[in-house]
Amino acid sequence: MTDMTTELIDQHTYLDSLGPIDYIVVEFPAGASSFTGEMSEALLSLVDAGTIRVVDVLILTKNEDGSVDAMELSDIEQLGPLQRVEAQLAELLAAEDVEHLAAAMDPGSTAGVLIWENLWAAPFASAARRSGGQLIATGRIPIQAIIASIEADEANATEGD
Amino acid sequence: MPLGPGRAGRVGVIGHPVAKTAVVAKAVTPGPAPVAKTAVVAAAVTPGRAGRRRRI
């Protein structure tokens, strides 16, 4: 087997065991942020449990004129326990992604962008692929949609009384 | 602060401008009875909840 073939097999094996990658943008309106370290602790507990792997983090600030400043986690002087996460980050997001993500932000706000791999899902996804399954849909059900569904059920039940 | 040099000149992974997720923002905004809402949602995602059957 050539080195290139071995490398391709290694890449395929790695890709096959990769969990799905998700992202969130958490906005903190101007003057409303209160950083106590609680978020860092919660994130690190997920990392330590092997539930997720943090892939990328950016801190964005949208100025009143709509311009956006981006900060790397490594730019923060007092990272504390997050330092060990920062050491393992991949710069997955490109510069153009910053503009796309910041489109959701209000002027004057700051936002944390978090990209993570769902390690917990990797073995199941891998098993599904080995069984011949193909992922054809994925998504998230907002809590508000569940509330709306329940309220609609309750309204229908009331009408039926 | 400038972005890391590895982020420049690459094709992005997000692909399009992101819209604010209004429905999620509304759900997490404390309303008149956030505790009651929490209980209702918790019940909805708990197995064996009486009175709710799937209709297809």
B4-43 pLDDT tens trace: 888 988 899 999 999 887 655 555 555 555 556 677 777 7
CA B12 to chain A, closest CA, distance in angstroms equals: 5
Q: Which of A23, A103, A144 is closest, CB to CB, to B24?
A: A144
> Angle CA(B53)–CA(B54)–CA(B55) in degrees, nearest 5?
115
Question: Nearest by CB to A142, which of B15, B20, B27?
Answer: B27
Report the chain B residue with the minimal C-alpha distance to residue A96: B12
Q: What is the rounded distance in angstroms from the CA atom of residue A93 to the CA atom of residue A56?
A: 7
pLDDT tens column, A98-110: 999 999 999 999 9
Paired with A60 in beta bridges are A70, A111
B49 touches A at CB < 8 Å: no
Q: Which amino acid is at B38?
A: T
Residue with tokens 């998700």: A22
What is this structure's pTM?
0.78
pLDDT band at B52 (very low <50, low <70, confident <90, very high): low
Mean pLDDT of B41-51: 69
Q: What is the DSSP letter of A159?
A: H
**Residue A125 pLDDT exceeds 60:** yes
pLDDT digits (tens, 9 = 90+) for A135-145: 899 888 877 78
Whether the predicted pLDDT of A35 surpasses 90: no
Q: Smallest CA–CA separation between B14 and chain A, in Å?
A: 6
Report residue A125 CA to chain centroid gap. Answer: 18
- AA letter at A110: T
Band (pLDDT 50/70/90 cuts) for residue A30 is confident
Structure confidence at residue A54 (pLDDT):
96
Query: Which residues of chain B make contact with A91, given a CB cutoff of 8 A?
Result: 4, 6-7
To the nearest whole angstrom, how far is the Cα of A41 from the nearest Cα of chain B? 21
Query: CB-based contact (8 Å) between B18 and chain A?
Result: yes
